[in-house]
Amino acid sequence: MAGGAIVSTGPIKNYNGGMTAFVLITCVVAATGGLIFGYDLGISGGVTSMNEFLMRFFPSVYKKMNSATTKESQYCKFDSQTLTSFTSSLYLAGLIASFVASVVTRIFGRKVSMVTGGAVFLLGAIINGAAMNIAMLIIGRVLLGVGVGFGNQSVPVYLSEMAPAKLRGALNMGFQLAITIGILVANLVNYGTAQMKSNGWRWSLALAAVPAILMTVGSILLADTPNSLMERGHMEKAKAMLQKVRGVSDVDEEFQDLLDASQKSKMVEHPWRNIMQSRYRPQLVMAILIPFFQQLTGINAIMFYAPVLFKTLGFGDSASLMSAVITGLVNVVATLVSIFTVDKYGRRFLFLEGGIQMIICQIIVGVVLGLKFGNTGQGSLSKGYADLVLVLICFYVAAFAWSWGPLGWLVPSEIFPLEIRSAGQAINVSVNMFFTFIIAQIFLALLCHLKYGLFLFFAAWEIIMTVFIYFFMPETKNIPIEEMNRMWKQHWFWGKYIPDDAVADHGIQLSAGKGMA
């Protein structure tokens, strides 16, 4: 996911060459990498709300849903561990695969990882589209997850290495934009296939093959990055590639910097031990808490289960899927807002504004549902209240999409200095995947037990994370990486963890070991 991107925020040098056709194609591949991830996030909720799908694979959920005499409260209609494992198995597989992928990406190159990701994902889409039983569904989802794990690990790294320095930040957020477009496309596909007489769900699942083919073929055609060629000892090829990527023959300055960076990173013997040192405490805490908080906003409750949620609230089948399309659209547009404002207003402003907006929306939704449904969860909302809930959920999604959505990936990627970057990114990506899995797995049970209180539960977490940002997250806008230590040092809380020499020597502390003179 976007989080894999390694974005250098050091002073941006004006290397020779700029945007070339080559880099443009890179953007397209990046987009397909984001699309496959987004497509998954957006497709499962609609599919699990389709009657034919439920009748076939989850008949007990279907029965519970349609039983007129059911004692089940509205909130518990969809609560089924197998139904949630259909959604969540993907993220667990992705979590494990991203560790394997990080080794493959380093040893065999970014391209091999991307081709593997696209191909495994394609296989998953085919098995899902042809599914005859739950086992095929889950195996398909696991393969999709492996594909996503490989893609999320390699595509952003590929992107940031191919992009000219001044475009790296934009590309990082562009990847998040591609994720939101993937979610929206999936919502639209669900809306369309639900109108089909039969097998609509099959088409929804099988169409994941389209972005998978684009990604597989796209990455077969692409070359590997200069950095990766260098890492694997092909110096001549690395230089030729850099010339090709930048479209000029004089790339000496950038090549030398790449070489220095590559040598430095080879000297980092113990990135995991490094990141445990007290001087890296702020980065370590952020690498864990930012992805954790991002998932605790509850966003994926909406992304995965919006159609189910809207059905629970008494919307009809088609209105539920349409509502998911609306939230999907809001998600894309608000991400664009973020891209255009993040360097102007800064990260803190967006984090705080987005946080407050999410808190207000969730509290009102919780109170409305509490008053109208109460604890029994019987009945349905009147049209007016149902529309109010939809509008509030749109405001909530917009707030997430210009704050924690893209920033949850951008901020961690810009605060890790070289010597802890690989470890920091690995923690960030895996914490994110892990909590995506947890939310996917427990959301329907939480809805059943906490009822309207679920919205208040997420609101409480949003209050905690907004207070956390206010007190503990300094502004990182426009701060070059070597100045970051000064920023932490001056911070009222983190300052005590940063030794004075970390500021004096610009924080480049490599673990003692071979190669250090």
End-to-end CA distance of the chain: 38
Q: Minimum CB separation from ligand BGC for residue 42, in Å?
A: 8
Q: Shortest CA distance to 90 belongs to which of 131, 135, 140, 134? A: 140
Residue numbers 26-45 binding ligand BGC by CB under 6 A: 41
Quote the CA–CA distance of 59 and 82 in Å, as a whole number.
Answer: 11
State the amino acid at position 94 in one-letter form: G
Amino acid identity at 384: G
Contact residue for ligand BGC among 156, 408, 424, 507 (CB under 6 A):
408
Using rule CB under 6 A, residue 299 touches ligand BGC: yes
- Six token digits for residue 486: 């000064």
Report, in Å, the least distance between residue 292 CB and ligand BGC: 12
Among 101, 155, 179, 251, binds ligand BGC (CB under 6 A): 179
Give, as ranges, the residues between 207 and 266 that touch ligand BGC (CB under 6 A): none
Question: Structure tokens of 246?
Answer: 């930048």
Q: Kindly identify the residues of this chain, within the stretch 256-275, that bind ligand BGC according to CB under 6 A.
A: none
Using CB under 6 A as the binding rule, whether residue 403 contacts ligand BGC is answered as no
CA distances from 13 to 60, 167, 296, 339, 421 (A): 61, 12, 38, 22, 21
Does 187 interact with ligand BGC (rule: CB under 6 A)?
no
Contacts of 497 (CB under 8 A, 6+ apart): 278, 279, 281, 282, 488
Residue owning tokens 């890492």: 231
Question: Does 178 interact with ligand BGC (rule: CB under 6 A)?
Answer: no
CB of 127 to ligand BGC, least distance (A): 23
Smallest distance from the beta carbon of 393 to ligand BGC, in angstroms?
Answer: 13
Q: Kindly state whether residue 167 participates in binding ligand BGC, applying the rule CB under 6 A.
A: no
- Residue 147 engages ligand BGC in binding (rule: CB under 6 A): no
Nearest to 446 by CA among 269, 281, 317, 301: 301
- Candidate residues 89, 153, 180, 466; the one interacting with ligand BGC per rule CB under 6 A: 180
Q: Does residue 303 interact with ligand BGC by CB under 6 A?
A: yes
Angle of helix 404-415 versus helix 347-373 axis, rounded to 10: 140
Quick count: other Cβ atoms within 10 Å of Cβ 133? Answer: 10
User: DSSP assignment, residue 510?
Assistant: P
Q: How many residues does the chain have?
A: 517
Total residues in contact with ligand BGC, by rule CB under 6 A: 16
Q: Which stretch binds ligand BGC (CB under 6 A): 80-88, 115-123, 173-181, 319-327?
A: 173-181
Nearest approach, Cβ of residue 385 and ligand BGC (Å)? 26
Closest to ligand BGC by CB, 146 or 407: 407
Question: With binding defined as CB under 6 A, does residue 331 bind ligand BGC?
Answer: yes
Query: Phi and psi dihedrals of 39, rounded to 5?
Result: -55, -40
Binding site for ligand BGC (CB under 6 A): 1, 41, 176, 179-180, 183, 294, 299-300, 303, 331, 405, 408-409, 432, 436
